[in-house]
């Protein structure tokens, strides 16, 4: 039996309250209960689905699963429209190849078999290894499927050290994870939304958070990193109060006691000022600081250099709100902070992350009920060493960026994104000749700065490139030679772990409900290609899911058993630092060099950075570069999440597209009036790095100094050929990442200014409005 603080942990199978097994009959339909990850696009929330399949084996309906203890039957539009995704006419369900000389030509693809595809890959990989070495293979990844399967398993398949998340400064999630591991030796700290308890908020021993700060995070549309956003609504109904830190006025901000609408990129100044208030007014947890932390006096001295009055001048937040928010958070018992992508998309983000962790620590909210929940020693998906253990040291040491940015490369076993681009361009320190896309559409303003540079560099350097995906994307159309069909979630088996397994909340099972086409999951692909390319590593695995038992279930369950449970709430224990469960050696304290939570980070220091937080202006800002304001007078932030899409996915799903037909830039009505821009008018946005076109949305959600532009745009209905002046599928038309500079990262290699730039905007007479009738005609007829 598994127990949660003395109470039995629960599964979602035959023994739950509603009593539905993992598969059952509903009239003539077979219902399979499942917890998807992606596709369709989503973070690892593990929402409960009921997949209704008819006698012909066709998915006919999708509903929310009431048995799922966290989501409780609630679904986003992407899951509700899953049938439209699976049977979309533009979906590719068979392998295709194209001669590399015809890249960008949409009419040159021809269907082949999987055996032919694997033979091609083996041939091309072998040629590159023999001529250049395995380091000349690079794996490009995006948000990830099944927890970034390609990182460990790709290394075991291809034998390359160069796995690369292509976003400049790895400006998504990993900087926060790395900072947390440096400062307190634990994975991602999450707010305590009672995810591990059968009775949820009514569980004996659970304490509701009095206050939650949403820092650069809008969890309702994004469900970020596995946090089910509507858990905040559940908590608010029970009395939790909010503080939001966001330049935009979001729906949750309108419900907050304090909505701190700061100038984009100035978050660290605000966080330091809040720390100063808490320390100077003696609102901190004396016992926690005395017994479990290191460097408090040094921190107090440092943050005293950023009083609220100074921070108010920098951030634009009223000084009284800085004082009020700091006091409200410090006096709440308990309180939590949910931090978001804004921490990562800032070259000063490592210091911001350090400050936010310090706020959690000074108030004694780490690893306590209703505060921040953290994993214990060794928590998280444990596949990382899977491929590296068999890699020769001399090969591993050739990872691009390892010498220059050890904090980055060693923390996540990734080649440095900005340096990979330069290696593609210069062939130094060696050429890259074979590329593989794993859940990546980097050209479509998602996970790359300066995507045209990536486009040109890949065409110049890569002799062969492969993708595994559900739809032809502009990235694949422009640069790939082999397209492999990816199985959608109803067609595959797998696992989904909230927060990538880093925090003790929920582990779900993806149960296969249908067969459609020839798509394979990432895991199946790795297994089948791995047997061909690296049989010594893969021969010991008798089936594709053996790794799940060995690595994700801790040898406690096999997949056949786990699938029947559909998912289960994991065990949670608080105050682990007091019992030796935060450290692998079993000693009390935290898994850091000092054994304590480090306000003064010895690891930051060892990597050549300041061990204490400090504020830096964004590289281009009204204060840092006032000479640019005549040309670029506005602050540009990008990438706020939408309900309709997940990054660049779902734009060929008519119901999703109707919610957001065109690429939008938010502009304040007063500013728009001065510039002669009407609501719904197309505009040009530009700065010294690039330009794009979008449709103006007039809203008071942004102030008069700020623009907010959507990301991830491409147009599946547009001309896919390279002869299109706007690029394959109009990928350059609304590509906001063309305005984001290359290699403007922090000292340790983390972070990039995706959310804090300068730009200008002007009205256009052209009209690029989406014809929704065309979308319905092209993509609205389900394939049966």
Structural domains of the chain, ranges and CATH numbers in brackets: 3-86 (no CATH), 96-171+391-490+513-546 (3.40.50.740), 189-373+583-606 (3.40.228.10), 626-779 (2.40.40.20)
Residue 85 has pLDDT above 80, yes or no: yes
DSSP H helical ranges for 374-521: 385-388, 393-396, 406-412, 417-426, 451-461, 474-479
Task: Identify whether the C-beta of residue 106 lies closer than 8 Å to the C-beta of residue 610.
Answer: no
Distances (CA, A) of 46 to 192, 447, 521: 17, 23, 17
Q: Which residues pair with 631 in a beta bridge?
A: none
CB atoms within 10 A of CB 556: 10
Collapsing DSSP states into helix, strand and coil, what is residue 97?
strand
Angle between helices 267-280 and 349-362 (to 10 degrees): 20
Task: Work out the average pLDDT over 408-427.
Answer: 95
The percentage of residues in the chain with a pLDDT greater than 70, rounded to a whole number, is 93
Residue 237 to residue 316: CA distance in whole angstroms = 31
Please check whether residue 319 is in contact with residue 343, taking contact to mean a CB–CB distance below 8 angstroms.
no
Kindly report the pTM of this predicted structure.
0.95
CA 204 to chain centroid, in Å, comes to 33
**Would you state the pLDDT for residue 5?**
34
Residue with the larger pLDDT of the pair 19 and 57: 57
For 569-607, what is each residue's pLDDT tens digit? 888 999 999 999 999 899 999 999 999 999 999 999 999
pLDDT classification of 496: cutoffs 50, 70, 90: confident
Q: DSSP letter at 643?
A: S
Comparing C-alpha atoms, which of 542, 545, 543, 544 is closest to residue 559?
545
Q: What is the pLDDT of residues 260-279, one digit of tens each?
A: 999 999 999 999 999 999 99
Length of the chain measured in residues: 784
Question: What single DSSP character describes residue 262?
Answer: P
pLDDT at 10 over 60: no
- 293: confidence class by pLDDT, cuts 50, 70, 90: very high
Q: Which residue has better confidence, 690 or 534? A: 690
The CB-side HSE value for 17 (13 A sphere, CA atoms) comes to 8
Number of Cβ within a 10 Å radius of residue 201: 16
CA distances (Å), origin 604, targets 107, 344, 353, 782:
52, 16, 12, 53
**How much is the pLDDT for 321?**
98
Whether the link from the prior residue into 429 is cis, omega within 30° of 0, is: yes
pLDDT (mean) for 428-445 = 94
Peptide bond into 197 cis (omega under 30): no
Phi/psi at 729 (nearest 5 deg)? 55, 35
Q: What is the mean pLDDT of the chain?
A: 92
Residue 386 reports pLDDT greater than 90: no
355 vs 274: CA distance, rounded Å: 9
From residue 76, alpha-carbon distances to 43, 221, 513, 656 in Å are: 12, 8, 20, 10
pLDDT score of 537: 79
Here the contacts of 484-487 (C-beta below 8 Å, separation 24 or greater) are: 484/95, 484/117, 484/520, 484/525, 485/92, 485/93, 485/94, 485/95, 485/517, 485/518, 485/519, 485/520, 486/39, 486/145, 486/519, 486/520, 486/521, 486/522, 487/519, 487/520, 487/521, 487/524
Name which of 295, 294, 292, 299 is nearest 364 in CA terms: 292
Place of tokens 């780490």: 366
Tokens 């295709």 belong to 96
Whether residue 38 has pLDDT greater than 90: no
Distances 543 to 29, 465, 729 between C-alpha atoms, Å: 30, 27, 39
Tell me: pLDDT of 781 over 80. no
The full DSSP string for 79-96 is: HHTHHHHHT-TTB--S-E
Q: Tell which phi-psi region holds residue 616, choosing left (phi > 0), alpha (psi between -120 and 50) or beta.
A: beta
pLDDT digits (tens, 9 = 90+) for 647-699: 999 999 999 999 999 999 999 999 999 999 999 999 999 999 999 999 999 99
144 versus 379: the higher-pLDDT residue is 379
User: Rounded to whole angstroms, how far apart are CA atoms 282 and 265?
Assistant: 28
> How far, in Å, are 207, 378, 499 from residue 549 at the CA level?
33, 16, 19
Residue pair 470/532 in contact (Cβ under 8 Å)? The answer is no
* DSSP one-letter string for 513-524: ----TT-B-HHH
Cα–Cα distances in Å, from 145 out to 41, 149, 382, 495, 721?
Answer: 9, 6, 15, 10, 28
Q: What is the pLDDT of residue 501?
A: 78
Cα-flanking dihedrals φ and ψ of residue 671, to 5°?
Answer: -65, -45
Q: Which helix (H) or strand (E) holds 526?
A: helix 522-533
Per-residue confidence (pLDDT) for residue 779, from 0 to 100: 94
Higher-scoring residue by pLDDT: 530, 94: 94
The dihedral formed by the CA atoms of 690, 694, 699 and 704, expressed in degrees to the nearest 10: 20
Cis peptide leading into 39, omega within 30 of 0? yes
What does the alpha-carbon distance between residue 223 and residue 655 come to, in Å, rounded to a whole number?
20
210 contacts: CB under 8 Å, gap ≥ 6: 239, 240, 241, 332, 333, 334, 335, 370
């Amino acid at each position: 039996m598994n127990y949660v603080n003395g109470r039995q942990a629960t599964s979602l199978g035959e023994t739950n309250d509603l009593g539905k097994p993992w598969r059952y009959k509903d009239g003539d339909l077979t219902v399979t209960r499942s917890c998807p990850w992606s596709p369709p696009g989503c973070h690892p929330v593990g929402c409960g689905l009921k997949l209704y399949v008819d006698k012909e084996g066709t998915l006919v309906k999708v509903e929310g699963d009431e048995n799922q203890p966290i989501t409780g039957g609630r679904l986003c539009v992407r899951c509700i429209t899953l049938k439209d995704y699976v049977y979309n006419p533009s979906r590719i369900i068979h392998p295709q190849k194209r001669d590399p000389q015809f890249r960008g030509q949409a009419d040159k693809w021809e269907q082949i078999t999987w055996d032919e595809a694997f033979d091609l890959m083996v041939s091309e990989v072998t040629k590159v290894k023999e001529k250049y070495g395995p380091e000349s293979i690079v794996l490009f990844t995006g948000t990830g499927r099944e927890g970034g399967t390609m990182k460990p398993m790709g290394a075991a398949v291809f034998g390359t050290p160069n796995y690369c998340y292509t976003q400049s400064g790895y400006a998504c999630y990993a900087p926060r994870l790395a900072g947390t591991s440096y400062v307190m030796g634990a994975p991602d700290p999450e707010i305590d939304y009672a995810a591990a308890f059968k009775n949820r908020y009514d569980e004996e021993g659970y304490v509701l958070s009095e206050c939650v700060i949403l820092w650069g995070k809008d969890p309702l549309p994004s469900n970020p990193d596995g946090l089910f956003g509507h858990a905040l609504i559940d908590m608010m109904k029970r009395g939790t109060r909010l503080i939001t830190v966001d330049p935009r006025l979001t729906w949750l901000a309108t419900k907050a006691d304090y909505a701190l609408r700061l100038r984009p990129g100035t978050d660290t100044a605000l966080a330091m000022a809040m720390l100063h208030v808490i320390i100077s007014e003696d609102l901190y947890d004396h016992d926690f600081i005395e017994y479990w932390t290191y460097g408090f006096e040094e921190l107090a001295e440092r943050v005293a250099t950023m009083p609220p009055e100074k921070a108010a001048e920098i951030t634009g937040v009223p000084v009284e709100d800085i004082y009020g928010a700091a006091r409200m958070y410090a006096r709440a018992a308990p309180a939590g902070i949910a931090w978001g992508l804004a921490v990562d998309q800032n070259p000063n983000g490592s210091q911001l992350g350090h400050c936010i962790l310090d706020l959690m620590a000074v108030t004694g909210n780490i690893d306590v009920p209703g505060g921040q929940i953290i994993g214990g020693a060794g928590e998280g998906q444990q596949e990382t060493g899977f491929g590296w253990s068999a890699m020769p040291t001399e090969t591993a040491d050739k990872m691009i960026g390892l010498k220059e940015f050890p904090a980055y490369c060693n923390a996540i076993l990734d080649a440095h994104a900005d340096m990979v681009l330069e290696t593609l361009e210069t062939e130094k320190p060696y050429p890259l000749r074979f590329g593989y896309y794993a859940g990546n559409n980097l050209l479509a303003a998602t996970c790359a700065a300066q995507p045209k540079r990536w486009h040109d560099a890949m065409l110049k350097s890569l002799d062969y490139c492969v993708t595994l995906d559900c739809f032809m994307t502009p990235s694949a159309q422009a640069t790939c030679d082999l397209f492999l069909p990816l199985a959608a979630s109803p067609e595959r088996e797998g696992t989904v772990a909230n927060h990538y397994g880093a925090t003790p909340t929920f582990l779900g099972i993806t149960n296969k409900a249908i067969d459609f086409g020839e798509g394979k999951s990432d895991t199946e692909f790795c297994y089948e290609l791995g047997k061909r390319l690296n049989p010594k590593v893969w021969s010991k695995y008798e089936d594709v899911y053996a790794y799940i038992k060995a690595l994700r279930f801790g040898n406690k369950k096999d997949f056949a058993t786990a699938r029947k449970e559909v998912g289960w709430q994991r065990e949670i224990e608080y105050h682990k630092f007091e019992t030796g469960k935060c450290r692998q050696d079993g000693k009390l304290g935290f898994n850091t060099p000092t054994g304590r939570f480090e306000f003064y980070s010895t690891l930051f220091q060892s990597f050549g950075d300041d061990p204490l937080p400090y504020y830096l202006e964004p590289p281009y800002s009204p204060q840092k570069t006032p000479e640019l304001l005549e040309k670029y007078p506005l602050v540009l932030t990008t990438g706020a999440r939408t309900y309709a899409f997940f990054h660049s996915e779902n734009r060929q799903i008519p119901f999703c597209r109707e919610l957001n037909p065109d690429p939008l830039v938010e502009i304040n009505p007063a500013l728009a009036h001065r510039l002669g821009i009407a609501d719904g008018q197309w505009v040009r946005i530009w700065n010294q790095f690039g330009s794009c076109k979008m449709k103006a949305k007039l809203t008071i959600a942004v102030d008069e100094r700020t623009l907010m532009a959507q990301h991830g745009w491409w147009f599946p209905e547009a001309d896919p050929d390279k002869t299109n002046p706007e690029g394959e599928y109009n990928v350059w038309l609304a590509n906001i990442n063309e305005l984001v500079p290359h290699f403007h990262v922090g000292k340790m290699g983390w972070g990039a200014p995706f959310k804090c730039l300068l730009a200008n905007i002007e009205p256009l007479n052209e009209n690029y409005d989406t014809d929704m009738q065309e979308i319905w005609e092209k993509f609205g007829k389900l394939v049966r």
